[in-house]
Structure 1
Amino acid sequence: MDLLDWHRGQLSSRRLAILVRHLPRDGAFAHALHGEAATWGVTDHLLAHMIDQLAESNWMFAVVNQGEDADPPEFPTPLKRPADRLAAESEPAPADAGRAGLPAPEEVLRFLS
């Protein structure tokens, strides 16, 4: 599919909008819009949650079975999720950082509406 077909009049705006809406979740366009969060599906989030729960369970087991005078082990830190990484960034990234020549998301939305 050549996107120049839209400019040539061989591809309707409606068809182009449908094609863009149905791009794969883990494709380059979604990755450019959402970063690493685009590659994390429900299964990935559930596995990360299970790992966190297992680490907490192991921590509880260690705390209960340690000696009375022993220092408690440190509470496990949860796995980093893409949303955590986005929230941890204190400085906003430049608008075009990491987009490799792709248009800004606002431009795409303005184009499709």
Structure 2
Amino acid sequence: MRVLIQHLPRDSAFVRAVHGEDAEWGLNEHLMAAVVDHLAIGNWLFTSAHLPEDESPPEQPRPVPRPGIEEDPVEEATPDDLARFFSGL
């Protein structure tokens, strides 16, 4: 019985009941979300680098929400934070 339960597909009712929302995402879904996140950041960096100086950069893209992971607020570095970081080099 243990072997049968261990090898149930992740979309089975038992696995969803035990693992909840985490069971819906497998390796493929996590990899695809990482690809989307990296493409979004790359496009944002390209766009930000090619804007005229008088325009403000677009908002940084948010990562694809993943089950079981709370979204952390984006903290922006102050000029003092940057000076402290680069003075240590």
Do Structure 1 and Structure 2 share a fold, with TM-score over 0.5?
yes
Separation in structure 1 between the aligned mates of residue 2 and residue 29 of structure 2, nearest angstrom: 29
- Measured against aligned partners, the alpha-carbon deviations of 1:29-56 in whole angstroms (never above 9, x if no partner) come to 1111111211211111010000000100
Separation in structure 1 between the aligned mates of residue 7 and residue 43 of structure 2, nearest angstrom: 42
* Amino acid aligned to 1:33: V
* Amino acid aligned to 2:9: P
* Amino acid aligned to 2:58: P
Separation in structure 2 between the aligned mates of residue 43 and residue 19 of structure 1, nearest angstrom: 23
Q: Does 1:36 align with 2:36?
A: no
* Amino acid aligned to 1:60: L
1:28-67 pair list within 5 angstroms? 28-67=13-52
- Residue in structure 2 matching 1:68, options 53, 60, 76: 53
The residue that corresponds to 2:76 in the other structure is none
Separation in structure 2 between the aligned mates of residue 19 and residue 54 of structure 1, nearest angstrom: 40
1:83 shift after superposition: 2.1
Where does structure 1 differ by over 2 angstroms across 4 or more consecutive aligned residues?
Answer: none
TM-score, scaled to structure 2: 0.72
The SS at the match of 1:83 is: coil
Percent identity for Structure 1 against Structure 2: 46
RMSD: 1.4
Structure 2: stretches of 5+ with no match in the other structure:
72-89
1:18 shift after superposition: 2.1
1:23 shift after superposition: 1.5
Structure 1: stretches of 5+ with no match in the other structure:
1-15, 89-113
* Amino acid aligned to 1:24: P
Paired residues, number: 71
Larger Rg: 1
